[in-house]
Structures are given as C-alpha cells and as structure tokens.
Structure 1
Amino acid sequence: MIKLAEHRVFSDSFKPLYNQGMGLVEEAAEYLDGDGRAAAKRLSRLGANLYAAESMRLTTRLMQLASWLLLQRAANAGEMTREQVAAEKSKVRLDTSSPQEEADGWFDLPEAFRDLVVRSLRLQDLVRRMDEEIYGSERGEEAELDFGSSNPVFDQITLLKTAFGHR
C-alpha cells in the first residue's frame, strides 16, 4: 500500500510544504517583532492578556512544526535514517491548541495575528495527519488493539495465526 503522505515527505514534493512552513515561521516572527508588537500596545487589558498567551502558543506551535519539517528534510536528504527521525520526532509535539473564537476578546485581536494563528493551526493539522500516516500514532495503535480484542473476526484471525505459527 502506498502512503501518500510518506511519498510527499520523502520526495521532491516535500519542498513546497517545507517552504510553506518555514515561510510561516518567518512571517510570524516578523509580525510579532514589528506590527504585532505595536498592535498589542493598543489592546485592552483582556486583549493584551489573550494576545500574550496566544502569541506564546503560536510561537510554540511554529517551533514544533519547524522541528518536524527539519527532521523530515534531513531524512529526505539522507542525513538521517527514518528510524533516527522517528526517535527524534517523538520529542516534537503537534498538539498545541488555541481557543480561537471561544476566547473572550478573540475578535479584538488584530486580524493579521488571528490569520497567523488560523494558518498555523491548519498547517499543524496537515502535518499531524501526515505524521500519523507515516509513523503511526500510539493512540491509533491502542485503538486498534482495543478494537481487535472486541472483534470476533480479529480474534479468529489471531487464533489461526497462532495455530499456524504466523505471529
């Protein structure tokens, strides 16, 4: 079975994803250091607190994404084996959330900032799906085991494999 995500990451078609991610990192850094800093000073206390918290989440999310992208690029270039990447990427978290519209004051934040947050979340979702397809997920493996133990067909297949020594 061909995994599309694996093909994308370990081929030349990885470059656009890498460029998109690293471009977003640069764009966010420039915004937070420039226009964002000025805009944050004009926010209410609630808005300023939310901006501070959300900018930390954004920065964390983007640094984690950049780490994942750099690991994949190293594997793609042959600088690391897939096993080395898998071991290192276990340190990368692809689950930084954001309260977005649910947070009081969300729509008081600068539109450019909200756009960066939304785009970073979309990229994180894409990367997380690719990561799960390529490397699997512990949660998915646990779900398979739970599903398998309550599935009579799976139980029969397991019995047959055991009986014929194919484990």
Structure 2
Amino acid sequence: MGPILRLLIRMILSKKLVNFLGVMLRRYCLKQRQCGVAKTIMIEHEYRNNTIRLAERVVFSDSFKPLYREGMSLVEEAAAYLDGPGRDEAKMLPRSATPFYAAESMRLTTRLMQIASWLLLQRAARNGELTRQQVAMEKAKVRLDTSSAAEALPGWAQMPADFIDIVERSLRLQERIRRMDDEVYGAPGISGVAGNPVSDQLVLLQTAFGGR
C-alpha cells in the first residue's frame, strides 16, 4: 500500500476528508468562475469565423439557461453543506457508516466538478467564444459518468437525509446533462483505455487547489 493511499484511508477514518471535500468544492467553484472569465478574454478574434454557436440548436437554447442555473446552484449548495451542516451530521454517524459517507462525498464532489466544468464550457460555446476545436479539446477532459454506490452501500440508510437528497439530485442532473450532451454532440465512442479512479481523484484534488 502506497503512502498516498494510506493517507487517504487515514483521512477517511478520521472524518477529515468530508470536511476537506467541502472546502475543495468551494475553491473549485471560485477557480472555475475565474477561469471562465480568463478564457473569454484570451480567445483570439481570428477564430470567430469558426465558432460553434450552440444557441442555434433549439433543444440546447431552450434548455441551457435553467439547466445552468440549476447546476451551479446545486454545486454551491453541496459545497455549503459539506463545509457546514454536513460536518456536524457526519460526526453523529455510527462509526461503521463513516467510511461510506466519506466515499460517497468524494463521488459527489467529483460528479459536481465535472458538471460545473461542462456547464461553464457550454456557456462559453453557446456565446460563440470557442471554436469547434477548442470545444472538442476541453470537452474531452469532462466525464459525465461518475456513479454512486447509493443504496448498494450497507450504510446508505444511515446517511443524513439532506446528504441523500443532494446525491440523488446530482445523479438526476448528471443524467440530464449527459442526454443533452448526446443530443448536441452525438453519443461518445467507447474508449479502450479505462481510467484509474485513484489517479483521477488526485488530479482533481490538484486542480482544485491550483496544483499545490
């Protein structure tokens, strides 16, 4: 067992990871907003003739604004919960349920990071600020397949009601976004190389904290 994995296990058992995820999600929200502004400023005008204007697609234009508001609102709500009430509720869980709560919190955080990235990317594309090539390159980094152990977890019934509600809403939102993504871009192909869940999580942690 490597030192990183041992550290993650110790964090889970000591309940520090749950608190850490709330802070991480808050910083991610701030960083994404800052990056969205920076990318808009840095787009070169010479690419304008090759922009992809997703607003011209009726299904996207009619659905995006409320979806964007709902998605970003859920991200903020989850961040506030994990960094606030979720801390107190986690302390009241039975010892056997703590690892399940921490693991599901990490899945939730990952899922919402990907949702926020997709929404910000589509907003820029919808406004004609990205070329087709830029959209394709950035969208390739976004994964809309973060699953949840949910009811399969032995301790799921012991999870806080507010936490269960946020997880379930995030799953429904992810499915809606995935369907919209398929409608706009077409269903994705099957990749022959599977990702490494631990490595993916570590990359997300580094991204959220600016590579520190």
What does residue 129 of structure 2 align with? Answer: 79
Gap runs ≥5 in structure 2: 1-56, 191-212
Question: How far off is 1:87 after superposition?
Answer: 2.0
Structure 1 runs of 4+ with >4 Å offset? none
What does residue 32 of structure 1 align with? Answer: 82
CA–CA separation in structure 2 for the residues paired with 1:138 and 1:125 = 14
Question: Normalising to structure 2: TM-score of the pair?
Answer: 0.60
Question: Normalising to structure 1: TM-score of the pair?
Answer: 0.76
For the 8 Å contact 2:182–2:188, the answer to whether it is kept is no
What does residue 59 of structure 1 align with? Answer: 109
Task: Choose which of 59, 67, 71 in structure 2 pairs with 1:17.
Answer: 67
Alignment of 1:109-128 (within 5 A): 109-128=159-178
Task: Encode CA deviations 1:49-71: one digit per residue, 9 max, x unaligned.
Answer: 11100001000000000000000
For the 8 Å contact 2:71–2:115, the answer to whether it is kept is yes
For the 8 Å contact 1:86–1:135, the answer to whether it is kept is no
Question: How far off is 1:77 after superposition?
Answer: 1.3
Q: Percent sequence identity over matched residues?
A: 65
What does residue 92 of structure 1 align with? Answer: 142
1:131 aligns to 2:178 (yes or no): no
For the 8 Å contact 2:111–2:174, the answer to whether it is kept is yes
Query: Which is further off, 110-119 or 44-53?
Result: 44-53
Task: Encode CA deviations 1:111-144: one digit per residue, 9 max, x unaligned.
Answer: 000000000000000111111121123337xxxx
Question: Which has the greater radius of gyration?
Answer: 1
What does residue 58 of structure 2 align with? Answer: 7
What does residue 45 of structure 1 align with? Answer: 95
CA–CA separation in structure 1 for the residues paired with 2:186 and 2:137 = 13
CA RMSD of aligned residues (A): 1.7
| Number of residue pairs matched by the alignment | 135
**Any idea what SS the aligned residue of 1:57 has?**
helix
